[in-house]
Structure 1
């Protein structure tokens, strides 16, 4: 899938997708899509799970932290993108 396709599915721009991929910083449109904050997404990407991110993952905070501890930074970005692409826009 192209950046345009991913951005369209995630409800954001290609620039924001590239920023997420290259810097690990989430934009407000992706965080809104997931029902959390950009700071929580960035914390997850950097290794810290918050209760808000655990809720997005459908797990308890300790279990989500165990998952995060087992995966790379790149994999955590992939999880965020996958969730953003798979969640319908909140009305």
Structure 2
């Protein structure tokens, strides 16, 4: 299997492909940490394969990590503010 990427094609072995009993074909999923523009196997390429690979953009993983980190910081800050508010109300009432 060949995954065509921006930096050049990457060849992957399909020796561990699984036989589908219902369709009597071999199934193999190829993954990469870069955007895949098209996929080829045994010299044939189909548009459906390119369509499936078109939505994968691993370059956005860093942005997703930063968004997750910001949400975590917001949760910690909100808990700190809520806890401080409760302690202040407790000190004023008692």
TM-score by length of 1: 0.21
Q: Bigger radius of gyration, 1 or 2?
A: 2
RCO comparison, higher one (Cα < 8 Å, 6+): 1
In terms of fraction of residues, the more strand-rich structure is: 2
In terms of fraction of residues, the more helix-rich structure is: 1
TM-score by length of 2: 0.21
